[in-house]
Amino acid sequence: MKAISALLNSVKGEKALILVHSLADLDALGSAFALQSFLRNSSIIASDMPTAKARKLLKFLNSEISVGGKLNCDVLFILDTNSYDMLGELADTVKKFKGKIFLLDHHSIHPDSIRADHLLVDNRYLSTSELVYELLKELKFEISEREAVCLLCGIIDDSANFKNANRKTFENIAKLLGKTHLEYPLILRLTEPDDDISQRIALLTACKRAEVERLGNYLIAKSIVGSFESKAAEALITIGADFAFVGCNSKDEARISARMRGRLEKELGINLATQVMEKVGRTLKGSGGGHACAAGADGHNRDAFEEAMNECITLTKELLERKANAKI
């Protein structure tokens, strides 16, 4: 942290671009706007449009980001991902980029990790926003109300409304709330998607189609939707599944979103990203990764979709059985 903050200080006047991942979420955009306030000569870029929730933040800020184009800068900051796959159409441009690259992220290091000159990748952080906030505190940089709201949105969203938060997160949230006159419910509303009927239909369809297997006291659910697979996987966990795998075999690629009930990471020592979805990503001839409790895989091998869905269940059952045997 100290080393990176010193380096940040040394480049703060240079022409910089802050690149957020494809389908930028509130954490990616929130951390990007906060970092941008520190870097005097910088702007934010992405390969495609941010998610609906992130666009809501953009509207609130009355701000825009650049989509696509050249990396016309001396220093490139990549936020909230360490995988080339997540950079969308800008991945190749980043590979060819000749300037300095900083990587700031809170995901586990991806096998196809982005080459960077300076990296701060720490999966103990629940969000890149919190990591950037700690960096700015280290730099004694006073953030304004606007950036405080951005960081709050990023932290709230990536901690799943504090479900995965730790003591430090609450300390940081309290400090950030102290910098804005906006009341917490209003900020929370900023992080909530506007009512979307197609999403609600997708979630209900996921429930209707769900197949559930029981292994001891654990319930493993799988389902298929046409879109919103990650929301659907979260919904299945909310209503009772311990593990949820929701797939979407779209026109261009097959995607599977995986979720595990939060407390099981400690209880079972299972990591969905490294022990399940990385393998499933290879089956789909793409990639897989993410976090212990929230992971995903995608690839262009759409014919292997069913096999990949079954692989999710088989691998999870194997992990659970191994755990049960270890107890005996």
| Binding stretches for Mn ion (CB under 5 A) | 27, 80, 128, 158
Of 291, 233, 293, 295, residue with least CA distance to 263 = 293
Q: Are 223 and 229 in contact (CB under 8 A)?
A: no
Instruction: Give least dist CB 244 to Mn ion, A.
Output: 20
Q: Which is nearer to Mn ion, 183 or 192 (CB)?
A: 192
Q: In the complex, which residue's CB is closest to Mn ion?
A: 27
Instruction: Give least dist CB 10 to Mn ion, A.
Output: 26
Within 13 A of 91's CA, how many CA atoms are on the CB side? 13
Q: Which is nearer to Mn ion, 25 or 242 (CB)?
A: 25
298 vs 50: CA distance, rounded Å: 19
Instruction: Give least dist CB 257 to Mn ion, A.
Output: 15
Q: Which is nearer to Mn ion, 77 or 305 (CB)?
A: 77
Q: Which is nearer to Mn ion, 80 or 229 (CB)?
A: 80
Q: Which is nearer to Mn ion, 158 or 242 (CB)?
A: 158
Q: Which is nearer to Mn ion, 126 or 254 (CB)?
A: 126
> Strand pairing partners for 66?
45
> Strand pairing partners for 254?
249, 299
202 vs 319: CA distance, rounded Å: 29
Instruction: Give least dist CB 281 to Mn ion, A.
Output: 19
Instruction: Give least dist CB 123 to Mn ion, A.
Output: 10
Instruction: Give least dist CB 77 to Mn ion, A.
Output: 15
Token code pair at residue 62: 């009355």
